[in-house]
A = this chain, B = another copy of it.
Amino acid sequence: MSGKSKYEEVTIATEPVFQGKIISLQVDRVLLPNGETATREIVKHPGAVAVLAIHEDRMIVVEQYRKPLGRSQVEIPAGKLEPGEDTASAAMRELEEETGFTCSEVRLLSSFYTSPGFADEILHLYVADKLTPGTAKPDEDEFIDCEAITLDTAKRYIEEGRISDAKTIAAVYAWQLHRLTGSYSL
């Protein structure tokens, strides 16, 4: 047996635990391949987009406070998907809201699950490198600073822990790869 349902865990029961503004949480009881049962704690998330935005050989990043970490972080522009929203449009919307930069096209680099052990969040990572500067329009309760950094600065921020999230590190790898090969893709 192979393929996407290999070792499938069949749901016996689902207990809804929490329904929040952004995430929800449920606990599933599942039947394992050996006939035993187990529980799975599952966070549901609407999905997100992020943009590796390059302007004049610098990466556009935003600094914001991340309450789960108890400190601020430097990350590429990103945000949740709105219901029914196209992912490329969402990427362009978040880029403009958070940084003011606009672009006529974004290209998908990869889509990945951030924490497949306990969450269904998928993040669509785009690249945009023909940008027009403009004025940021953050949401009312969004407090962010925008910066354009060189690859060396990005590496230093990673060393210092100011950049330390999966999407931004993946984006810096893609940027480094583009420097070496001319392509952002693996």
> Which of A's residues lie within 8 Å of B, judged by CB?
3-9, 17-18, 20-23, 25, 27-28, 30, 32-34, 36, 38-43, 45, 48, 63-69, 71-73, 75, 80, 110-123, 141, 143-145, 154-155, 158, 162, 164-167, 169-170, 172-174, 176-177, 180-181, 186
Contacts and interface: CB of A to CB of B under 8 A. Distances in A.
Contacts of A43: 23, 25, 43, 68, 118-119
Q: Which 4 A-B pairs give the minimum distances between C-beta atoms?
A: A173-B173, A166-B166, A4-B71, A7-B143
B169 A69 contact: no
Nearest to A44: B68
Given A166-B123, A166-B167, A66 B117 contact: yes
Given A41-B21, A72-B6, A166-B166, A67 B115 contact: no
B173 A143 contact: no
Given A17-B25, A173-B177, 5 more contacts: A7-B65, A110-B164, A110-B169, A113-B164, A176-B186
Contacts of A158: 110, 186
Given A4-B72, A17-B25, A32 B143 contact: yes
